[in-house]
Structures are given as C-alpha cells and as structure tokens.
Amino acid sequence: MSSLVSGATNFRDVGGLPAGAGRSRPGVLYRSGNLVHVDDDGLRAMDDLGLRRIIDLRDDAEVHYAPSRIDGLDLEVQRVPLFLGSVESFFERDVSLGELYAELVEGSAARIVEAVRGIIDTQPVLIHCTVGKDRTGVTVAIALAAAGVDRDAVIDDYARTEGLLPAERNRQVLAGIRALHPENRHAEELATRSPAPVMRGLLERLDTEYGSPAGFLLSHGLTDAELDRLRAALIE
C-alpha cells in the first residue's frame, strides 16, 4: 500500500478498525514517519485531509535534522518529545524492542498522556515521529486500545508498519548502525521491525500493572471525562 501523503513514509489513517459493535472513525487520527520529504502533491494531500494538528514526538535534534515540510498548511504543531534518552543510547545499550517500549511507558507516561490529550482536543490530527514505528506505534496503540478498539486490531495496525518501511531505507539505516555497533544483537528489530508479539506484550503489561491501557492513562493524569471524549472522537 502506498503512503496517503506523497513523500511521507508510513502515512495512514487508523479509521475503520473494529471496536466492539462499532469501528474507529475514519478521517480523525492519522500516523506517519517524519515529513521532511513531503512533496507538493503530499502537501496538497495533507491540505485535503483537513489536518488541524500535528503531534510531533521527536526530540530537538531530530526536528533540526529533518524539519517538517508543512509550508502553507493551516494547522498547529504540538511538540511532545517522547524518548528520555537519545535514540543512539538504545543501540549503545543493545536494548530489545520490548525493553524499549517498557522504558517508554515507564519514563514518558506523562508525555504519552499529553499526546493523547492532543488527540482529544483537536481533530483531524496526525501523530508522527521519525519512522512512525515505535514512539508513534506505542502512543497510537494506547490511544486506540483505551478508546475501545479491539485488541487484535490495535496490534495488527501496529504490525503493519514493518511492511510500509522502504527496503532501501532499512538497508542504509542498518548499515549505519552496524558500522557503529557491530556487536548489537537487536539492531534489525529496533530499526526495521514491528512484531505483533512485542505490542501484545506491552498491552498485556499495561493490563497487569494498571488494569488496562485506559487505566494506564488514568493513572497518569487523564480524567474520566477526557477518556469519554477520546472514545467519542475516535469511535463511531
């Protein structure tokens, strides 16, 4: 499947996913990788989507290195940097993808809530990071699960990313990581994979520790009223 927005990797709508007797509402929540290579057709496509907010989960260095191309679009950008450490540090420490996600929900819980509040406050909304796989994948999965999207559908949406990353991009990124960290055991998984069992494990961790993904958000400051608004915004 080609990207919804020309020049943007992994740009897609998370509408149409089963949610009990309903489904996730199309045209409300989008996800993608960075927007540095968006071309004129892509800009027109984003304009046509009527986006009102972009939630950028990248840190200052990533934003400086790959500034979003959103010239002329009438929208607001909400910056919510999610990683506490640098991306480089994960490769240096050779953490697994599951360990990375555990660190993300433990160390950046308040910021995940901040991003979810961004979804609640303004739609249509795009959430993105650099690749649209990990920070975006975790945030979107928690939001969808908390809103009531069926667990398997949340996991399947996360897992789709792997098939949408360009092979040439994967080759270049892996070569760069291996040049710096030749002994790294988790490089390929961290850089190119979105395995369903890893997301299933994360959501089950939230079940165990907080009762549910919604419980995780409520435990870190989201209110019941905000959770109701999230469900109303995302589910039809």
pLDDT by residue, tens only, the chain of 236 residues: 457 899 999 999 999 999 999 999 999 999 999 999 999 999 999 999 999 999 999 999 999 999 999 999 999 999 999 976 666 677 778 889 999 999 999 999 999 999 999 999 999 999 999 999 999 999 999 999 999 999 999 999 999 999 988 888 878 888 888 888 788 878 888 888 899 999 999 999 999 999 999 999 999 999 999 999 999 999 99
Residue 193, beta-bridge partner list: none
**For the residues of 2-63, what is the DSSP string, one character each?**
--SSTT-TT-EE-TT-EETTEEBPTTTEEEES--TT--HHHHHHHHHHT--EEEE---HHHH
What pLDDT does 1 receive? Answer: 45
What is the value of pTM for the model shown? 0.94
Q: Which residues contact 133 (CB under 8 A, 6 or more apart)?
A: 10, 33, 161, 162, 165, 194
CA 203 – CA 208 distance, rounded (Å): 9
- Amino acid residing at 27: G
What pLDDT does 4 receive? Answer: 86
What pLDDT does 85 receive? Answer: 65
What pLDDT does 51 receive? Answer: 97
CA 128 – CA 49 distance, rounded (Å): 16
Coil, strand or helix at 127: strand
- Amino acid residing at 118: G
Closest by CA position to 143, among listed 31, 49, 9: 31
CA atoms within 13 A on the CB side of 141: 31
DSSP-derived secondary structure letter, 211: S
Strands 22-23 and 18-19, by their bridges, are antiparallel
- Which domains, ranges and CATH numbers included, belong to the chain? 12-231 (3.90.190.10)
CA 173 – CA 169 distance, rounded (Å): 6
